[in-house]
Every structure is written in structure tokens, then in C-alpha cells.
Amino acid sequence: MSGGNRKPDGAALGRQVLDGDRRALARAITLIESTRRDHRKEAARLLEVLLPRSGQSIRIGISGVPGVGKSTFIETFGGYLLEQGHKVAVLAVDPSSRRTGGSILGDKTRMEHLARDERAFIRPSPTAGTLGGVARRTRESMLAVEAAGFDVVIVETVGVGQSETAVADMVDLFMLLLLPGGGDELQGIKKGIVEIADLLLVNKADGELKQAASRAAAEYQSAVRMLRPAAADWIPPVNTCSALTGDGIAPTWERIGEYRDLMRSDGRLEKRRAEQARAWMWSEVDDALLAAFREHDGVRERLEALEQAVMDGRTPATAAAQELLAVFLDGVNGNATD
Ligand SMILES: Nc1nc2c(ncn2[C@@H]2O[C@H](COP(=O)(O)OP(=O)(O)O)[C@@H](O)[C@H]2O)c(=O)[nH]1
Ligand SMILES: [Mg+2]
């Protein structure tokens, strides 16, 4: 951050973001991503300013195995949305990005036009921390880009571990990109991810792969049908597209619009967001409690010996946990005025 010694003022920064100041937005997200305790406090004030002006976008999650064409798709799809008069923000959840050097950042060459366009905002995944931490900061960044006036937010995830679920839990619509493979690939995709997808797209439906893509789409479509209850009013459609040629991009946006209209028509969208907000609150509580527990002096004093005793089979795990919790809770009660 420029002026690293200057103490950030969360509330002032928030007002600049609301004014549509791009550099302020970038600084706001840097503040959100900071783990420094004083920065967390300012970030909380920042979010208080931003929250009332957030929530106006459609939040779209995009997942798929590396190489399926996510970055290329976002470039083409994002470009299409800009043409339609939208403002597009792209965020990422990639807890592995410390090792890989950042999913989006490494891909910015594939999002050349989007990255250079004033009406778009691209931010790579935060590079430090656990999935929970990365997801939390991405959620907060999402509120910031919404408050800055971006009306389509795309959250990309790499197909690693639980990050798909974390992204599905923060978006209105979760989209899965697939390769035009045959039945083998059907087996390879984790069933759970197909289950949480609201929209599936077989990418690379161009040239020699076009027919294979159509076949794969039909196979996925029947698989998806079987996963859904017969009464469901939204059977996730499986379409084909080519991120390279732009084929199927406009229909994809139409499908998204249909989905949003349906979810809005009976309050399901609000309900989904409300549930997400509640789950988010609890994961914050979980994280903060665990951090406080691990930082607690009395716990730290005993932790190593107790862990060893559990590993050696000298102390039952339950007894050790109870002892640590007793120490922790006693400390909490004793410091109630702190
Ligand atoms: N033929 C074809 N190739 C594509 C398409 N989309 C992406 N690719 C290629 O697939 C490779 C991986 O794309 P990339 O966007 O980096 O995938 P990501 O890892 O999911 O972000 C690149 O060589 C792209 O040029 C497409 O629609 N058709
Ligand atoms: Mg990529």
C-alpha cells in the first residue's frame, strides 16, 4: 500500500469508495485483506460505511478444473457484459495462491482487455491464510466492489478442496465450467460440485471439439436431472459455449437472468443471502473463538504437554480438551472487564 506508514481511516476511505474512486477501492480491499489488528478495526469501520450501499449486484461464482478456460471465459463474458452497459468486478478465492503465485494475477494476460478497462475491476485472491480467512476477505471485498457501483461480481475459484463450497456460499448463482470430455470425465468431476451448480457450461465447443461438447452437455444434463427432485422449478441447464469464439456467451447471460428473475420472484434470493449472512457470522465467531483459544496464555502453557499426552495415549482426548477449555473459559470469565 502506498503511504504504508499513514494510518488508514476506514470511514473516510469508505466515503471515497462510495464516490466511485477506483484507487480508494483498491486501498479499501488492501485494508480488508490486512491481518493487522489496528487495520482490522479500520476495516470494520470501512465496512460499516459500505454495507448499506452493497448488495445491488448479481453475484456469480465460477469454478472448474485448471485449464477448462475460466480466465478466457471471464475475459469474453466480462467483455460482453461491459458492452451491455454493466460494470464488472472479478474476485478470486484461491487458498493455494501463495504457492501458485495467484490464480488471477498469473492469468491477467488472459484477461487483458478486462484488466485495462475502466468499467472493470480485477482483484487476485488474497495470498495469505486459510480457506476460511481467504473466503472471508473475498466476501468483504465483494461488499466493497458493490458499494463502488459494480453491478456484476464474478468470484472465481480454482478446483481445489473446499473452495468451491466457500464460493457457492457467497454467491447468488454458482456456475461450473466443464470440458468436452466423454463419460470418463463425468466420473472425474466430484459429484458434490455438480450438485451445487446452478448452471453448467461445457466450454471449448468450437472446432473439432464442438460435437464432443454437445454430447457431453447432453450427458451432464441427464445426470443433473437425476440429482434434482422432480418438482424442482429450476433444473440447472447445461449449455455449451466457446470462450474463444464467444459462441454461447449471450445465451449464458440470458440463463443467468432467468435464474435471477425466478429466485427474486418469491424471495428465494433474499432468503439465500440471509442464510449466507448468518452462516458467515457463525464462521466469524468460530474463527475468532479458535484464534482467542490458541492465543490464550493458560492454554498455550499447557497445550504442548497435553497434546503429547494425548498422542502417547496417557490422557484421553476428551479429558485434555475439557482441561484446556476449562483453563480458557476461566480466563475469559476472569477477564470479563477486559
Ligand atoms: N479451443 C478452445 N480453447 C480454449 C477455450 N477457452 C480456453 N481455451 C484454452 O484453454 C487453455 C486454458 O484456458 P484458461 O482460461 O487459462 O483456463 P483456466 O485455468 O480455467 O483459467 C488456454 O490455452 C486457452 O486458450 C475455448 O473456448 N476453446
Ligand atoms: Mg485461470
3-class SS of residue 88: strand
> Cβ contacts of residue 30 below 8 Å, gap of 6+?
1
Residue 185 and residue 234: Cα distance in Å, rounded? Answer: 24
Where in the chain does DSSP place strands (E)? 58-63, 88-93, 120-122, 152-157, 173-178, 199-202, 238-240
How confident is the model at residue 1, as a pLDDT? 46
Has residue 2 got a pLDDT over 70?
Answer: no
Has residue 75 got a pLDDT over 90?
Answer: yes
Average pLDDT score, the chain: 88
Distance 206 CA to ligand 1 centre (A): 11
133-159 pLDDT per residue, tens = 788 889 999 999 999 999 999 999 876
Among the listed ranges 180-194, 215-229, 256-270, 301-315, which one has the minimum average pLDDT value?
Answer: 180-194
For residue 213, give the ligand nearest its CA. Answer: 1
Query: Which residues does ligand 1 sit against, CB inside 6 Å?
Result: 64, 66-72, 107, 110, 203-204, 206, 242-244
Residue 141 and residue 30: Cα distance in Å, rounded? Answer: 9
pLDDT band at 8 (very low <50, low <70, confident <90, very high): confident
Q: Of all atoms in ligand 1, which is nearest to the CA of residue 243?
A: 27
How confident is the model at residue 145, as a pLDDT? 97
CB-CB contact of 199 with 263 (8 Å): no
Q: Of all atoms in ligand 1, which is nearest to the CA of residue 177?
A: 20
- Tell whether the torsion through CA atoms of 297, 299, 302 and 303 is positive or negative: negative
How confident is the model at residue 122, as a pLDDT? 93
How confident is the model at residue 234, as a pLDDT? 93
How confident is the model at residue 176, as a pLDDT? 92
The percent of residues above 70 in pLDDT, for the chain, comes to 87
78-128 pLDDT per residue, tens = 999 999 999 999 998 877 765 554 455 556 667 888 989 999 999 887 766
For residue 110, give the ligand nearest its CA. Answer: 1
Has residue 338 got a pLDDT over 50?
Answer: no
Nearest CA residue ID for atom 7, ligand 1: 69
Nearest CA residue ID for atom 6, ligand 1: 69
- What's this model's pTM, rounded to 2 decimal places? 0.88
For residue 62, give the ligand nearest its CA. Answer: 1
- DSSP class of residue 63 equals E
258-310 pLDDT per residue, tens = 999 999 999 999 999 999 999 989 988 988 899 899 999 999 999 999 999 99
Distance 69 CA to ligand 2 centre (A): 7
Nearest CA residue ID for atom 2, ligand 1: 204
- DSSP class of residue 207 equals G
Phi and psi of 124, rounded to 5°? -70, 170
How confident is the model at residue 104, as a pLDDT? 55
Q: Of all atoms in ligand 1, which is nearest to the CA of residue 74?
A: 15
